Structure 1
Amino acid sequence: MADKEIHHYRLTGLSCTSCSAKFEKNVQAIEGVSAAKVNYGAAKLTVTGHVSVAELEQAGAFDNIKVRPEQDTNSDTPHRQTSFWRENRSQLIAAVLIILAFISQWCLGEPRFLSPILFVMAILVGGYALFIEGIQDLIKFEFSMATLMTIAIIGATLIGDFAEGAVVVILFAISEMLERYAAERARQSISTLVNVASKVATIRRNDFEQTIAVQDIQINDVMLIKPGQKIAMDGVVIKGDSTVNQAAITGESLPVDKRISDEVFAGTLNETGYLEVQVTKRAADTTLAKIIQLVEAAQGERAPAQAFVDKFAKIYTPFIILLATLIVIVPPLFFGGDWQRWFYQGLSVLVVGCPCSLVISTPVSIVSAIGNAARHGVLIKGGIYLEEIGKLQAIAFDKTGTLTEGKPTVTDFVVVDERYNEPDLLQKISALESYAQHPLASAIVEENKRRGIDIIQTSIENFQSIIGRGVQGDISGTTYLIGSPTLFSSNSKITTIAQAFHEQSKTVIYFGTSEQILAVIAMQDSVRQTSQQTIQELQSLGIQETVMLTGDNQATANQIAKEVGVSSVKANLMPADKLQEIQNLQTTLGRVAMIGDGVNDAPALAIANVGIAMGVVGTDTALETADVTLIGDDLSKLPFLIRLSRSTLRTIKQNITFSLVLKVIALLLVIPGWLTLWIAILADMGATIIVTLNGIRLLRVK
């Protein structure tokens, strides 16, 4: 059904949250539209139904909102080419008229009627769009900023304050222009991510090379990527090797080596070599596309502080209108005040009482912070989690894949029989393990590659996997085995060596023939390089408890805990046990975060105040289920995340406090009768600009 079709649009010129709400309401009223949702933070419109771009722009004409379909790949749209003159010509003409009015008033000794005419012309030219919007809102009993400004400017004109009415029009236009610029600046994190994605790619399909749009690329197509080119789609390397800069996705500063069978991601940059990549995901399903979707959704979510401000503004605006009415009526009626003077004071109260700076104080901070985090490889699902992170008292860590690398590496190689040399044994072991699929086998093969062991000339015959114990195969007529001690007879010397490794919490496997053990290999899941420093930084930031929760045995857990420096450790835990430990921490300490792999630790991640997923590049489950995701598996981003959250909370409080205090000070000027329209608009404009710029500072938190 056409009326059920969902369309997405990008918006430019969306200057404030109240404008966003009004635009959404206008779009919903268009015939053929069954639903509409505006995401102010991401400047994005989602429409269910059938509607044209022209109709959407007409609905947003009050704020000069421009619309383009999201799938429009042409970044140089006509809207972006609109000149400054065309966008602001009425305000510029009004400014010239005001200047001429002041010149004629002060310098030329002109007839008394000329400057008022010029001021009125400036009001009509510069404020025409504002008046249309304000009067329409007034008819609907919607007391928007446009309504308040329209009443104030028309009122000033009626009592003969033409100069102030005209200047207020210009100052209001400047305020809106600066506010629009600041809002667009805060959204640049999204546009940066969107622009990272390539629009086209060269592929080979049916032995024919062609350059096509990414939307037309199919799974299993082969991309051809030259040095210096962006990778357009997620896929697996099937030919070539290179280094790839993944900073746009993971925030990593150093390029990553990519070889055959390695994954690559859309939006990353191929640096040194030629690659052929088999596409594994469609354009809409790539890791980059999911990141963009998640960040946009997060920027559209209201934080608790924002929800409070929105509720407060609904009470605040009617209160200001009532206060302005009382200021106009009470002094003249009960204290013999001058009607014109107090009417003017009431108009000034309407202007200074506009809630714009208050309403925008929180969303601009949330949008900036979430955008900054995404740029550094951290996805935050919404403002509520951003606020929670700054209030954490404890953080619980899974061990495997979080504090450790999550994959075993060879730490020791001991030759038991001195008649054999190490390179020869390593060659046989590597050749045998290259046939196996176990993670321990992969670790041995990787270690031997690092040592430069060549297995090309080693032939394996009669290879056999012995389930749960190891593998065996024939090399030059001799049967060799590699695996657990149950494959071999007991040997006191071997037992002593193995015991020493076990005490170090290492995994031990054996290599030899059916008659004797020839070598012992020890492996261990190595601790991430950043784990210890991260734990120290978290503790220095005031996190009261850092806990390691693991299903591993107590000895291994204690060793890892000692190495990384967590304050406590719980071992031998099942998923349900981890959930119980999180609940215990919440009872004793308060807010708790859980960091895990996003799949195995799902119950604990769900019950924690903030669930943070590791190991998530390309892992859809983790991206979709966690509250926060560390895209590059980089634990060192945790202290940054906490600092960013606390800075955001601090900035929101600063903005709300500054906005309210400035308005209260301006309103107090009514008592001695010092409040003027000039002061009122400057106070309102100044507060809006300052809180916006203060929120944008969060883009610079490092």
Structure 2
Amino acid sequence: MSTIAKETRFRIEGMDCASCAAKIDTAVRRLPGVSDVTVSVTRGTMIVHHEHGADLVEPIAKRVTGLGYGIAKVSTEPATASEDQHVCGCGHDHCHADGPDEPRHSHAESHAHGASPARHVHHGHDHAHQHGDERRAAGLPIWATGKGRLTIASGVGLVAAWSLGRLVPDVEVWLFAAAMLIGLVPIARRAVMAAVSGTPFSIEMLMTIAAAGAVLIGAAEEAAVVVFLFLIGELLEGVAASKARSSIEGLTSLVPETALLEDGGSTREVRADSLAAGATIVIRPGDRIAADGVILAGESAVDEASITGESLPVHKTVDASVFAGTINGDGVLRVRVTAAAADNTIARVIRLVEDAQETKAPTERFIDRFSRFYTPAVFFIAVAVAVLPPLVMGLEWRDWIYKGLAVLLIGCPCALVISTPAAIAASLAAGARRGLLLKGGAILESLGGITAVAFDKTGTLTTGRPVVTDIIGNGETEGDVLGLAASLEAGSNHPLAKAITDRATTEGAAMPQAEEVRAIGGKGISGRIGGAEVFLGSASAVAERVAVGADVARQIAELHEAGKTVSVLTRNDAIAGLVAMRDEVRPDAARGLQALAKLGVRSIMLTGDNRHTAQAIGSTLGIEVRAELLPQDKQRIVKELQATGLKVAKVGDGINDAPALAAADIGIAMGGGADVALDTADAAILHGRVGDVASMIKLSRRTMANIRQNITLALGLKGVFLVTTLLGISGLWPAILADTGATVLVTMNALRLLKIPD
């Protein structure tokens, strides 16, 4: 019978990538009594399966904090204040429960992750690295974090070494060596701890070997620069990972903290997270809805853009469903709660995002994969060159030790270390100048292989705001229809009202003073203008007030078929005219889709909008359309496309896009969109140009071609000098040139990427 019967959960602080998780997994898995380990970068958690009765909390904490990560045990029982202790890898004051920078694990956070409040145990380990700084110092500027300070110190040391080296050339090497040590010491410590814990050839170890090797061959300046660039890359990676994690958790802020609970004929304010299914709540005009539910009484226009992506408020009446986090319009609603806080729409979206991110195949950094074989191979080849010929063939020891040392210098991985990140850094900088933000080299690498792009409609292919498209008079001039409608809507912030008043202002339409203006919930708005009773509302609301002729009905139907929202204006119980509005396509949308087609990339629209509107936009752009979708539908369709062998990018700007953005091979957020879309996505287009999607793919393909060229240069030169060294043609100085020369060449080649062709 198996003795494995227990699991212990931990919260891990400071994981930025799959490499971090792999190091923790390897270190903990090697402990006696541990049978299985599951580490989640997205959730920042670790589950350890171990023998029942074995107290492994202390050994696990020591192993993880030794690697430089913070760790807290998640208790299965509520913790009291006296039990609250913290495991951290730094030993600073801020790590205590009452410290200013310590993140508090709230009740809501624990439930959001399916965990109970955390028990913490403190250890006095030194900080082995700064991966956790951004999480512990959330909200601080980059330069104020531990990792930021280390990067700045390394950069200042590099500049100081260069400046002083010009004045005192004799000590220049030592100055650059000292500058290098500023950044290399913590990197080397991490490398040693990782090696002791079972990961001997980590990227930290590769960097340590590369920098030390560069100093040994007299290239201390190169070593200092390589270490500085490595720290910059880690800094950006850590900040992005921490921000993405906190922004996803921040989705819960869309749901109000309190709700009006109807109890015994009266209402009282309660915490929203205490609402149970079956409870009745009252939603006032302008309030965010506190829970998923069904309307029992009342009608109103509800803004559901955060959930469905619908560009315009949706009219809701009795028996209609409403979602937590959406915004009530101008009517009072009584709603029966259908889901508790842990199961509402927002909570499900959070889980969908996290689950989709967890199922992504981890993309290992090229240099980390290569170092598993390259570094040890070079070492053993060098030893073999130095030892075997004298031992086996009786050749001169001095000559072959010299050749072995030359092989070590040829094999110094500096050029290889810099070749890939130099190209990536240049491309990321060039992209940023064009408003193309990509979250790391793995994303840049993957973009070039995209074969299908799924676009959201509202705010992505369209501008995201309605505009007046048609004004039709029925016994009135178009100017009079527009002026009367704008008079009623003056002062309103409703998207449709703003579209009308903006058009009237642009055209200089006369807007007479409206009196006795009142909103009629879910129907429209009425008032008196020049002694006449004027009403502006939906076609169905107008049909309840006046007779709608066949010609007017036909015009309304045609406008609806074109995907437009129609407001009907009446004066003294007679139809005066129609005002049609639609969220129009972006000016460059058609060109952007054509550019993708030229690259051999398929385009599809996924939207929560109604089918008529979506089809009208789709016909204009010539794009395949899927409409009336919820967040989980968009995610499902992305996975279906992937199942057919396509590599899918998802482009969107709203919270409703977050699950699909995370499920796609690459998620791209349009500028000006919701924070969660920007932070969940792998890349962002800040200027909102559809054509920039094709630009991103082109940039990726150019970058990967450049990286292949760099690797060929670096390895090719090494291969040539390896052969000439073994033949006795070249020695140590050519061996040095094999690395430093390759470094210069690959850097110059990478710099070509700074210019993006038009």
Q: TM-score, structure 1 length as denominator?
A: 0.61
Specify which of 535, 555, 560 is matched with residue 497 of structure 1: 555
| C-alpha distance after superposition, 1:396-455 (max 9, x if no partner) | 1122222112222112212211xx444344322211111444322211111111102353
Q: Does 1:144 align with 2:198?
A: no
Structure 1 residue identity aligned to 2:732: L
Post-superposition offset of 1:307: 2.7
1:375 is matched with which residue?
433
Matched, 1:584 2:661: no
Note if 1:651 corresponds to 2:695: no
Question: Is residue 210–residue 223 contact of structure 2 (8 Å, CA) maintained in 1?
Answer: no
Q: Deviations over 1:117-152 (max 9, x none)?
A: xxxxxx999989999999xx99x89872465467xx
Match of 1:93 among 157, 170, 189: 170
Letter in 2 for 1:319: A
Amino acid in structure 1 at the alignment position of 2:522: G
- Equivalent residues of 1:391, 1:591 under 8 A apart: yes
Residue 309 of structure 1 and its aligned partner are, at CA, apart by 2.1
Who is 1:599 aligned against? 655
C-alpha distance in structure 2 between counterparts of 1:126 and 1:494, whole Å: 81
In the alignment, which residue of structure 1 is the partner of 2:685? 630
Query: Does the Cα contact within 8 Å between 1:35 and 1:47 map onto a contact in 2?
Result: no
Q: 1:463 aligns with which of 513, 517, 541?
A: 517
Change over 3 Å in CA distance of 1:528–1:689 after alignment to 2:
same
> What is the percentage of aligned positions where both structures have the same residue?
35
SS state of the match for residue 600, structure 1?
A: helix
8 Å CA contact retained: 2:638, 2:648: yes
Q: Take 1:47 and 1:673, find their aligned partners in 2: how far apart are those partners?
A: 56
Match of 1:549 in 2: 606
Q: CA offsets per residue over residues 496-519 of structure 1, 9 Å max, x none? A: 332333343332221122421111
Contact 1:179 1:688 (8 Å CA) reproduced: no
1:565 counterpart letter in structure 2: G
Please state how far the C-alpha of 1:179 moved relative to its aligned partner: 5.7
Select 1:538's aligned residue among 580, 596, 599: 596
* Structure 2: gaps (5+ residues): 1-12, 15-66, 69-87, 93-124, 138-142, 196-204, 238-360
Whole-angstrom CA distance in 1 between matches of 2:748 and 2:704: 15
Q: Which of 598, 601, 615 is the equivalent residue of 1:558?
A: 615
Deviations 1:238-262 (A, max 9, x none): xxxxxxxxxxxxxxxxxxxxxxxxx
CA distance in 1, matches of 2:214, 2:559: 78
Q: Distance in 1 between matches of 2:228 and 2:362?
A: 26
SS at 1:669 equivalent: helix
Which residue in 1 is equivalent to 2:370? 312
1:551 counterpart SS class: coil
SS at match of 2:527: strand
State how 1:196-275 maps to structure 2 within 5 Å: none
Which residue matches 2:402?
A: 344
Match of 1:483 in 2: 537
2:726 match: secondary structure: coil
Give the equivalent residue in structure 1 for 2:460.
Answer: 402
Give the distance between the partners of 2:494 and 2:406, measured in 1 at CA: 76
1:505-544 map, 5 Å: 505-543=563-601
Structure 2: distance between partners of 1:620 and 1:36 = 32
- Distance in 2 (alpha carbons) for counterparts of 1:697 and 1:187: 23
What CA distance in whole angstroms lies between the structure 2 residues aligned with 1:435 and 1:129? 62
- Shift of the 394–125 alpha-carbon distance from structure 1 to 2, 3 Å rule, reads closer
Cα offset, 1:558, TM superposition: 2.9
Counterpart mapping for 1:428-467 below 5 A: 428-455=484-511, 458-467=512-521
Picking from 663, 669, 679, the partner of 2:734 is 679
State the AA in 1 paired with 2:209: S
Kept in 2: contact 1:348–1:677 (CA 8 A)? yes
- The alpha-carbon deviation at position 599 of structure 1 amounts to 0.9
Over residues 534-587 of structure 1, what are the superposed CA-to-partner deviations in whole Å (9 max), with x where a residue is unaligned?
0000111121x2111233444433332222122x22233333332222122111
Residues in 2 aligned to 1:552 and 1:129: alpha-carbon distance in whole angstroms: 57
Task: Report the number of matched residues.
Answer: 497
Residue pair 2:589, 2:621 contacting (<8 A) in 1 also: yes
Superposed, 1:75-154 pairs within 5 Å as: 82=160, 84-87=162-165, 92-93=169-170, 144-145=209-210, 147-148=212-213
- SS of the equivalent of 1:444 reads helix
* Alpha-carbon separation, structure 1, partners of 2:179 and 2:473: 86
* Alpha-carbon distance in structure 1 between the residues aligned to 2:561 and 2:363: 52
CA contact (8 A) 2:180 2:223 kept: no
Shift of 1:313: 1.9
Q: 1:383 to 1:557 in 2, by over 3 A?
A: same
State the distance in 2 between where 1:29 and 1:468 align: 57
Letter in 1 for 2:700: S
Q: Kindly indicate whether the alpha-carbon contact (under 8 Å) linking 1:536 and 1:565 is maintained by their aligned counterparts in 2.
A: no
The residue type equivalent to 2:614 in the other structure is A
What is the rounded CA distance, in whole Å, between the counterparts of 1:324 and 1:29 in structure 2? 38
TM-score, with normalisation over the residues of structure 2? Answer: 0.57
- What is the rounded CA distance, in whole Å, between the counterparts of 2:753 and 2:236 in structure 1? 12
Question: How many Å separate the matches in 2 of 1:128 and 1:501?
Answer: 73
Paired residue type of 2:736: I
TM superposition shift of 1:174: 5.8
**Alignment-mate amino acid for residue 558 of structure 1:** Q
Secondary structure at the counterpart of residue 468 of structure 1: coil
Write out per-residue CA displacement over residues 619-659 of structure 1, whole angstroms, 9 at most, x where no aligned residue: 42223222222223222211111111122222222222332
Q: Secondary structure at the match of 1:642?
A: helix
Q: Give the corresponding residue for 1:221.
A: none
Aligned residue identity for 1:674? I
| Aligned partners of 1:306 and 1:363 also within 8 Å | no
Q: 2: CA distance between counterparts of 1:628 and 1:130?
A: 32
With over 3 angstroms needed to count, the CA separation of the structure-2 counterparts of 1:551 and 1:30, relative to structure 1, is closer
Local SS of the residue matching 1:310 = helix
* Residues 32-91 of structure 1 deviation map (CA, whole Å, 9 limit, x = unaligned): 67435468xxxx99999xxxx9xx99x98xxxx8629xxxxxxxx98698484514556x
Match of 2:471 among 413, 425, 432: 413
Question: In the aligned structure 2, how far is the partner of 1:94 from the partner of 1:377?
Answer: 43
Work out whether residues 37 and 45 of structure 1, in 8 Å CA contact, stay in contact via their aligned partners in 2: no
CA distance in 1, matches of 2:723, 2:572: 95
Equivalent in 442, 450, 456 of residue 384 of structure 1: 442
Pick one of 130, 147, 153 that aligns with 1:67: 153
Query: Could you tell me which amino acid in structure 1 is paired with residue 515 of structure 2?
Result: E
What is the CA–CA distance in structure 2 between the aligned matches of 1:131 and 1:474, rounded to whole Å?
Answer: 79
Question: Is contact 1:554-1:571 (8 Å) kept?
Answer: yes
Assess, with a 3 A threshold, how the Cα gap between structure 1 residues 30 and 668 changes in structure 2: closer, same or farther: farther
Counterpart Cα distance in 2 of 1:401 and 1:144: 49
Instruction: Find the counterpart in structure 2 of residue 286 from structure 1.
Output: none
Higher RCO (C-alpha 8 Å, min separation 6): 1
Work out the CA distance in 2 between the residues paired with 1:79 and 1:603: 44
In 2, Cα distance between equivalents of 1:448 and 1:324:
80
The equivalent of 1:571 in structure 2 is 627
Over 3 Å counting, the alpha-carbon distance change for 1:411 and 1:701 in structure 2 is same
